[in-house]
Amino acid sequence: MTNISNSVINVHVDPKDKIEATNILKELGLNMTTLINMTLKQVIKKKAVPFEVSLPTISNDLEEALKETITIEKEYKEGKRKGYNNANEMLRSILDD
């Protein structure tokens, strides 16, 4: 018979993150130990981190939409664009033009 012992890993995490992750894992039928063991097995198997690790980026479309929003807001403040309180008001304005 082989003597198998476990190794302990201590990890410092934000308490709120731990609670939220624990609750999600519980819904999935898992616990933190199982998740960590699954992750380590995937690191070994793939010889890489088993999920994408990258800096957050925004798409070109989103970047253009954000720029347009800034322009529209600036033009509204300068009185170059109309503002509406609700969709009906906007629709009336469109139909009147």
Give me the tens of pLDDT residue by residue for the chain, a chain 97 residues long: 566 788 999 999 999 999 999 999 999 999 999 999 999 999 999 999 999 888 888 899 999 999 999 999 999 999 998 888 999 999 998 998 7
Task: Give the pLDDT of residue 71.
Answer: 94
- How far, rounded to the nearest angstrom, does the alpha carbon of residue 80 sit from its chain's CA centroid? 36
Task: Give the pLDDT of residue 68.
Answer: 95
Residue type, 45: K
Rounded CA-CA distance 81/78 in Å is: 8
